[in-house]
Homo-oligomer: A and B are copies of this chain.
């Protein structure tokens, strides 16, 4: 009766097989949860808030997800994929400087269009990544190592100036996510007549151009 087919992460290839209503409501819940979690953090969010934002009653929401934590976990695991996509697209065969700049642009664009996801991620990191640590040391670490090696090669070959590839990646993360995570601060300082993201775009382009020029 109450069993909503759950992939569970471990189960691997079992198809969820959901009805139209399930599909729609699960989406609404995840969307609402993203909104609420990213704004108040895990502990600060209540299931009632999420349910209301999703247009459901609390028991009805619990009909689709076994617990508040389950929603959070599902949100995080799907998030990591989207989050790493821009880095995955960094092409080892492309033009080095253009590739890195393009990656930075993709990342900045994500901060602009998906600030809630950025904040959700930041929240999790701040707490010490209690529910993501394994993912960090798995997919994330592997991908970072992979792409860092590419950048290191470019450095060695003299295609770009010498830089620590890991910290270059960190720099891109820090600089782009800052505009989403600390948006209040940025706007408080710049005032209402500025477009932080477009300004950031030109500033960061200059920054990385000068950093990588040889």
Mark A residues whose CB is within 8 Å of B: 39-44, 119, 122-123, 125-129, 133, 136-137, 140-141, 144-145, 161, 163-164, 166-168, 170-171, 173-175, 177-179, 181-182, 184-186, 188-190, 199-200, 202-204, 206-207, 210-211, 213
Q: Please report whether the interface of chain A is mostly helix, strand, loop or mixed according to DSSP.
A: helix
In the assembled complex, the Cα of A171 lies from the Cα of B133 at a distance in Å of 27
**Contact of B167 with A199 in the complex, beta carbons under 8 Å:** yes
**Contact of B140 with A189 in the complex, beta carbons under 8 Å:** yes
Please, which residue of chain B has its CB at the minimum distance from the CB of A178?
B174
Contact partner of A210 (CB less than 8 A), chosen from B43, B190, B200, B210, is B210
**Cβ of A192 to closest chain B Cβ, rounded Å:** 11
**Contact of A126 with B181 in the complex, beta carbons under 8 Å:** yes
**Contact of A182 with B125 in the complex, beta carbons under 8 Å:** yes
A-B contact pairs, 17 of them (CB 8 A): A44-B44, A122-B126, A126-B181, A128-B184, A141-B188, A141-B189, A144-B189, A163-B203, A166-B199, A171-B175, A173-B178, A174-B178, A207-B207, A207-B211, A210-B210, A210-B211, A211-B211
**Contact of B136 with A184 in the complex, beta carbons under 8 Å:** yes
Q: A43-B44, A167-B200 are in contact. Are A181 and B211 (CB under 8 A)?
A: no
Q: A133-B184, A185-B140 are in contact. Are A161 and B210 (CB under 8 A)?
A: yes
B residues less than 8 Å from A122 (CB atoms):
122, 126, 181-182
**Contact of A185 with B125 in the complex, beta carbons under 8 Å:** yes
Please, which residue of chain B has its CB at the minimum distance from the CB of A128?
B184
**Contact of B40 with A163 in the complex, beta carbons under 8 Å:** no
B residues less than 8 Å from A42 (CB atoms):
44
**Contact of B136 with A188 in the complex, beta carbons under 8 Å:** yes
Please, which residue of chain B has its CB at the minimum distance from the CB of A189?
B144
Q: A167-B203, A181-B125 are in contact. Are A133 and B188 (CB under 8 A)?
A: yes
**Contact of A188 with B128 in the complex, beta carbons under 8 Å:** no
B residues less than 8 Å from A144 (CB atoms):
189
